[in-house]
Structure 1
Amino acid sequence: MNYIFSKLQDNYYSILKIILFIVAIVAVIWVSPKANMFKYEFSIGTPWNHTDLIAPFDFSIYKTNKQIEEEKEQIIDNFKPYFKYDLQKTEESKAQLNKDFDDAWLANYNNKKDLKRKKYKRILNKILDKVENAGVIQHNSVLEGKDKGSIIRLIKGNQVEEVRLESFYDIRTANEYLFKEIDKLDIDDSTLFKNLLSHSLVQNVFYDEAVSKADMDQLMGKILPTHGLVQKGELIISAGELVNSDKYQILSSLKREYEKEIGTSESKIFIVGGLSLLIVLMFLIEFFYFRIYLSEKYESLKNIVLVLLSQVLLITIADFVFYNYPDFAYVIPYAILPIIVTAFIGSRFAIISHVITILILGFFAPNSFEFFYTQFTAGFIAIFAVKKLDKRADIFRASIYVFVTYMLVYLSMLFVQEGSLDNFSFTFMEYIAGSSILLLLSFPIIFLYEKVFGIITHLSLLELSNTNNPLLMELSQKAPGTFQHSLLVANLASDVLHEIGGDALLARTGAMYHDVGKMNNPLYFIENQGLGGNPHDDLTYEESARIIIGHVLDGIEMARKAGLPEQIIDFIRTHHGTRRVEYFFRLEKRLNPGVEVDKSEFTYHGPAPFSKETAVVMMADSVEAASKSIKQPTEQNINDLVDNIIDDHLANNQFHNANITMKDITIARKVLKKKLLSINHVRIAYPE
């Protein structure tokens, strides 16, 4: 029993990863559709590569989206909008004319010529009545593009009649008619009468949006989704027969109806069992691929959780859309998964996780082959676009690349299947455009994942490595010598990692912060002392060692207060590993010969570096600092310095926990020697 518990304890993380995969498998099976799956694959323009297909039951033939859209467009084109005749406006117009006429007559004739007043008033009312009774229509956007012969529906009271647009006046034509009628009278007061009529004229026919919309909705609602029936036992398609557009629609309708059928409880058990086996196989492939070929990344539990969580979420959303809104299957941003995984873990991890996810979704997606091919291609393009992801524009570029890829794949399939662009779908273009735009959700998701999983991306590293960062600004002001040293270490570490492979940006950023703890006591570190005295002269060797060692703990505290991620803090805590402050240790031994010196007082608390990046920063930090003590920086002196320091690191097991090989260390020696020789070159003496 103890042996079993011991094995469980030793393999705790391995067991936990297996449990995570099992949880992911169960979750995917749970959210996946449990309906029958149509076993035939088909596409337009290709032969039917199966036996003769007989209708297993009666089913309706569904219209294509294009057919439904055409019917809708036909309804819109032939629709007669509703306008309402406003009787109240007409009465107000008449009242206004009579009032204005009486006022004008009184002002001009002082109630003289009473007989003429009544005559002209009657004439003006008659002219205005003809216009207002016919209707003065208000201009509306629904009338744009319609000619005078177009028909609208006019609501007058409780009656609705169809009237041609030419029967109505607008303000311009109404005024033209009024003025023409006044000119026929050949009277002296024609200008006055024209002004009176024009002032009284009002629009009294208005577009009735509510009634028009209700009627339009009713007509749209009458559009049937089907247009025909296939009876049970009827031959649908023969073996080898070409799948044309009509056959394709019948087959699609059969597939749609077939997958709605739940079947018996026994068949459902087989469906769920088969589905479960397929999903288990997919995740087993992913598990062993991670474990065998990506073992370094697989070691991180966070990486496994991040990938599996992202896969389960995407599959859940996609399955919901497939089952409830199949027409919108291509709106989902499937390429967001490889973008996110590439940003956090790497492109190789992203490739396999994307392929497995698309394969699983291909079981349920409409037109499985087309779906898989399209998403497979788009996902790879997205990975190439964000392989480094060292600036935010990369995600915008990925979004554009994915959209172009979608278009090219769609057009190529359209040419193969149709042989023309007759069935080109702008609706599909809208779907893939929406999917490409939704890829920009990578920004907030990456930010959220960084907070949740404590993993940083290159985007965050670039922001942290900016020398305008508050903590680096403070370091440059309080400890300028340390700041310059940190920049040199960052460059050295980055150069080494570019040669041996590794995250150069992570090492560069970590190196810039590795000595921030020196800000608390900057003058106790030689690079900040200048030409002044050495404050260590007033301290015991133990006190000096305590201050030197303390900069690591101080740096960790400062970094945490500044909100730096743990990956950066790792460089602070490991850059001296578990080595001794050798200078003060030897002075203490010399001061107290024969006395056992407490080594713990002169030893850094560690830990030793535990990654390739932290190991390289330790090397770069040590050799850069030591190179300042060389009085004659010849090539031989620098080579000896680098070799001695790295040999000392190896002798003290500082790289024992880091995934760095002897070959890597040999290359690191060469790079550091070359760079230090370049940094410390001797300048020629200028003449006085």
Structure 2
Amino acid sequence: MKQETKNKLKTSYRVKLLLLLLTIGLIVFMFPKGEALESEVNVGSIWIQEDLIASTTFEILKSKEQYDREVQRAVQNVNPVFILDEKVIDSSLDSIRSYNKVIREIIDKDIYQSDEINDFRQTFLSPQAYETLKNIRIKENSLTASQSLNLNDFFRISSDIILAVERRGYLNQLYENISKDTIALREGKFEKLVSKSNYYDSNLLNDFIEDYLSQLGVSNEISNAVKEYVYRFVAPNILYSPELTNAAVELAKNKVTRNVGIVNENERIVAKHDRITPEIKLKIDSYRIAKGTEIGIWGRISQTIGKFLHILVIFTLFIIYLYLFRKRIFNDNYKLLLISLIILFISFLTYLVHQINVKAPVEMLILVPVLSMLFTIVFDSRLGFYGTIVIALIAGGLRGNDYAFAVMNIVAGGLAAYTVRDIKNRNQIFRSFLFILIGYLTSIIAFGFERFAPIDQMLVTSAFAASNALISPVLTYGLIIFIERIFKITTDLTLLELTDFNNPMLKELSKNAPGTFSHSMTIGSLVESASEAIGANSTLARVGAYYHDIGKASSPDSFVENQMGSANLHENLKPEESAKIIIGHVLKGIETAEKYKLPQEVINFIPMHHGTMVVSFFYEKAKELYGKENVDISNFRYPGPKPNTKETAILMLADACESTVRAMNEPDQQKIEIVINNLFKIRLDDGQLDEAPLTLSDLTKIKKEFLNILVSQHHKRIRYPKQDEMENEASADK
């Protein structure tokens, strides 16, 4: 049931229609919004259309780069906003006064009631600072109290420092964290600009306290205790406000105007044959936006329909090509999905690049050659070229109908497809770098000279094109591996790798079953030549021929081509047992192929090269022994399925023809031709080719190729002098 559903999804026309609508819809969504003029214009180009007259009054909008620069400048001019908190000074002084009484009581209890635990652990002070205050209190009660600092003096100094700091102002930010030298200080409803150096930050506060205490001439111990005491109660009263600062930033942004002037209705924007200057381009771009906002909802709907039809026309030509000339791809929705995803990938890349507003020619980084190479490697070179034209037209449309861009990518993409059309290994992908670069450079020079572009501008564009030429092969290399694994698609690259005779399966076949190996190689030449003659995949056919009898490697002596004159084991077996062994090589071959993870397209050759044919030799032998009515023909029939592609059908015919001709005595052209015709007729009459997409014309071409090759392989040779004598001596030695 799952397989049936999967097959329906693979071929369903509803799925094809849904895929087409989704692909077109997503591309339409990426199209420039609200642009009613026909094409993108570039500074330095010539306006070749009729005079452009404003149909409505509109503002000349600044370019995005200019507007962004002015906004950035306005933001940089905003001063960070701070708020003066007048309550902090009173709060700090109240706190220190209250704690002065507490610390005095703790120290007195510690001095006069030492049996109780009244030490620094009940305070916020460090042991050193607490001992300093305790010693001050002890000396205060001694006879020399008048000559030394007492506790009240300590408290007064601390309060004076806090008062001095709070009156000047204490920032809650370090100087280096404040972006400007001037800050906006908000006091109630009023705001003023002041230098941040008018106020303390935490670093300057420490310097101030040390200078203050140094002038008083107090000891280091007392100085450290004062600092520790002060830091407990002093608090910033100049507070940074992110909310007010952000509001000021937004206000500054909003004050930046978006326009640099106005064009009145019926005023000429640009005259025919005028050169496009930056000022004219600004007017044209502004007019495009104005026209887009002017059209209204129904205008937008009609414009969207127009864009949809625009893309549909391009896709229709592509779909017709697939339907007429690449039906295998057209009938496979998974392959159509892959084509859509690749087109959408390049379209989305075009959309993203078009959103980047820089002066550099970043459009040259749109990797159209990636699509060209992917289509060519995964499918074929013609599809690669047609796909290149489709995506170049779409990308040109996404860039405001940029004709030059479309042509550049058709040239570069076409050359990229050309370089990988007969690819033999994965590293050959990187050869495309030079051809892609040549395609872009030729186009850049052509359009540059046509438009009188400065040389330095052409050089910059060429540098970006070179980056594209370098990135495209690398990305293609990685995507090919991804596509092969995710979509289970077997490319010619994978097939060519399987033709390596160092492949473990082929090495085992050549070692254990040399006769079968030789037979497979011979058939490889037959099917390759026939496939080329009818336009089938010759590489796939050759690989299928190499692996079609891989199941014989496990029991080579069961097959006559490997017996090399030794006894035939089938002489001692019943016909049905022999048939079971012969048929078993198909199942064993599938098992071996799956073990080594051969692509499914190659595995299909193993059962299909026999289809549902009968093992006629042993079937006839069984009828002679048991009588026809006592023989079940199903025991002598291969399990199938029948060939369903041109390549598997060619292999079935080649396998039969090569084996039969090899067994002939003194074959000549006439005999070989008769055998080929008979074998073809037998399989046609038996319905073995009913599911294969072969025409009578194809069969005629295949016969011709088979005949030419088999005749050349089995041509009559001149016997050497004394050859009979040598053969007789060899027989005598045996």
**TM-score scaled to structure 1, two decimals?**
0.70
Does the 8 A contact of 1:59 with 1:257 survive in 2?
Answer: no
Cα distance between partner residues in 1 of 2:295 and 2:496:
56
CA drift of 1:633 comes to: 1.7
Aligned to 2:75: none
SS at match of 1:335: helix
Say whether 1:438 aligns with 2:471.
Answer: yes
Say whether 1:353 aligns with 2:387.
Answer: yes
Cα distance between partner residues in 1 of 2:497 and 2:664:
35
Does the 8 A contact of 1:61 with 1:227 survive in 2?
Answer: yes
Pick from 666, 669, 674: which aligns with 1:640? 674
1:82-161 aligned within 5 A? none
CA drift of 1:245 comes to: 4.5
Residues 406-451 of structure 1, C-alpha deviation per residue, up to 9 Å, x if partnerless?
A: 1111111111111x64453433222111111121111111111111
- AA of the residue aligned to 1:450: E
- AA of the residue aligned to 1:51: D
Residues 383-417 of structure 1, C-alpha deviation per residue, up to 9 Å, x if partnerless?
A: 22222233335422322211111111111111111
CA drift of 1:265 comes to: 5.4
Aligned to 1:397: 431
Aligned to 1:217: none
Aligned to 1:298: 330
Cα distance between partner residues in 2 of 1:591 and 1:29:
74
Does the 8 A contact of 2:376 with 2:420 survive in 1?
Answer: yes
SS at match of 1:241: coil
Cα distance between partner residues in 2 of 1:400 and 1:586:
63
Aligned to 1:568: 602
Identity value in percent: 29
CA drift of 1:478 comes to: 1.3
Residues 574-604 of structure 1, C-alpha deviation per residue, up to 9 Å, x if partnerless?
A: 0011110000000000111253311110001
SS at match of 2:398: coil
Pick from 332, 336, 351: which aligns with 1:319? 351
Does the 8 A contact of 1:64 with 1:249 survive in 2?
Answer: no
Cα distance between partner residues in 2 of 1:10 and 1:544:
42
Aligned to 2:35: 36
The 3 A distance-change label for structure 1 pair 9 and 617 is closer
The 3 A distance-change label for structure 1 pair 432 and 343 is same
The 3 A distance-change label for structure 1 pair 240 and 556 is same
Cα distance between partner residues in 2 of 1:661 and 1:647:
14
Pick from 647, 650, 659: which aligns with 1:616? 650
- AA of the residue aligned to 1:524: S
Does the 8 A contact of 2:23 with 2:340 survive in 1?
Answer: yes
SS at match of 1:231: strand
CA drift of 1:613 comes to: 1.0
The 3 A distance-change label for structure 1 pair 643 and 266 is closer
Does the 8 A contact of 1:649 with 1:655 survive in 2?
Answer: yes
Does the 8 A contact of 1:493 with 1:507 survive in 2?
Answer: yes
- AA of the residue aligned to 2:264: G
Residues 170-204 of structure 1, C-alpha deviation per residue, up to 9 Å, x if partnerless?
A: xxxxxxxxxxxxxxxxxxxxxxxxxxxxxxxxxxx
CA drift of 1:467 comes to: 0.9
Residues 465-497 of structure 1, C-alpha deviation per residue, up to 9 Å, x if partnerless?
A: 111111111111111111111000001111112
SS at match of 2:515: helix
**TM-score scaled to structure 2, two decimals?**
0.66
Residues 187-242 of structure 1, C-alpha deviation per residue, up to 9 Å, x if partnerless?
A: xxxxxxxxxxxxxxxxxxxxxxxxxxxxxxxxxxxxxx999944332956443232
Cα distance between partner residues in 2 of 1:10 and 1:416:
51
Residues 148-187 of structure 1, C-alpha deviation per residue, up to 9 Å, x if partnerless?
A: xxxxxxxxxxxxxxxxxxxxxxxxxxxxxxxxxxxxxxxx
Bigger radius of gyration = 2
Pick from 476, 479, 483: which aligns with 2:517? 483
Residues 552-588 of structure 1, C-alpha deviation per residue, up to 9 Å, x if partnerless?
A: 1111111111010011011112001111000000000
CA drift of 1:538 comes to: 2.5
- Cα RMSD after superposing both structures: 3.1
The 3 A distance-change label for structure 1 pair 274 and 366 is closer
Does the 8 A contact of 2:65 with 2:357 survive in 1?
Answer: no
- AA of the residue aligned to 1:305: L
Cα distance between partner residues in 1 of 2:307 and 2:400:
17
Pick from 693, 703, 709: which aligns with 1:659? 693
- AA of the residue aligned to 1:569: I
1:46-85 aligned within 5 A? 46-54=46-54, 56-59=57-60, 62=63
Aligned to 1:595: 629
Cα distance between partner residues in 1 of 2:287 and 2:462:
24
The 3 A distance-change label for structure 1 pair 495 and 294 is closer
Pick from 231, 243, 256: which aligns with 2:262? 231
Aligned to 1:91: none
Cα distance between partner residues in 2 of 1:429 and 1:386:
23
Aligned to 1:525: 559
Larger mean Cα displacement after TM superposition, 579-588 or 22-31: 22-31
CA drift of 1:62 comes to: 4.8
Aligned to 2:13: 14
SS at match of 2:412: helix
Does the 8 A contact of 2:527 with 2:541 survive in 1?
Answer: yes
Pick from 308, 318, 330: which aligns with 1:276? 308
The 3 A distance-change label for structure 1 pair 259 and 448 is farther
Does the 8 A contact of 2:611 with 2:643 survive in 1?
Answer: yes
Aligned to 1:512: 546
Cα distance between partner residues in 1 of 2:692 and 2:630:
32
- AA of the residue aligned to 2:576: E
- AA of the residue aligned to 1:430: A
Aligned to 1:427: 460
CA drift of 1:611 comes to: 1.1
Residues 247-290 of structure 1, C-alpha deviation per residue, up to 9 Å, x if partnerless?
A: 66445654786699698656544544443343344334433442
Say whether 1:379 aligns with 2:378.
Answer: no
The 3 A distance-change label for structure 1 pair 354 and 258 is farther
The 3 A distance-change label for structure 1 pair 243 and 293 is farther
Residues 335-370 of structure 1, C-alpha deviation per residue, up to 9 Å, x if partnerless?
A: 211211121222333333332323222222166112
Paired residues in the alignment total 523
Does the 8 A contact of 1:580 with 1:604 survive in 2?
Answer: yes
Does the 8 A contact of 2:550 with 2:592 survive in 1?
Answer: yes
Cα distance between partner residues in 1 of 2:572 and 2:416:
61
Structure 1, unmatched stretches of 5+, are: 1-7, 69-224
Aligned to 1:26: 25
The 3 A distance-change label for structure 1 pair 11 and 333 is closer
- AA of the residue aligned to 2:651: V
Cα distance between partner residues in 2 of 1:528 and 1:576:
19
Larger mean Cα displacement after TM superposition, 327-336 or 263-272: 263-272
Does the 8 A contact of 1:45 with 1:416 survive in 2?
Answer: no
Aligned to 1:98: none
Cα distance between partner residues in 1 of 2:21 and 2:258:
46
Say whether 1:409 aligns with 2:443.
Answer: yes
- AA of the residue aligned to 1:275: K
SS at match of 1:58: strand
Cα distance between partner residues in 2 of 1:261 and 1:497:
59
Aligned to 1:365: 399
Cα distance between partner residues in 2 of 1:398 and 1:319:
25
Pick from 487, 497, 500: which aligns with 1:466? 500
CA drift of 1:16 comes to: 2.1
Residues 477-533 of structure 1, C-alpha deviation per residue, up to 9 Å, x if partnerless?
A: 111111111000001111112222211111011100000011121100001111211
Say whether 1:310 aligns with 2:329.
Answer: no
Aligned to 1:161: none
The 3 A distance-change label for structure 1 pair 671 and 342 is same
The 3 A distance-change label for structure 1 pair 248 and 388 is farther
Structure 2, unmatched stretches of 5+, are: 1-6, 70-255, 723-734
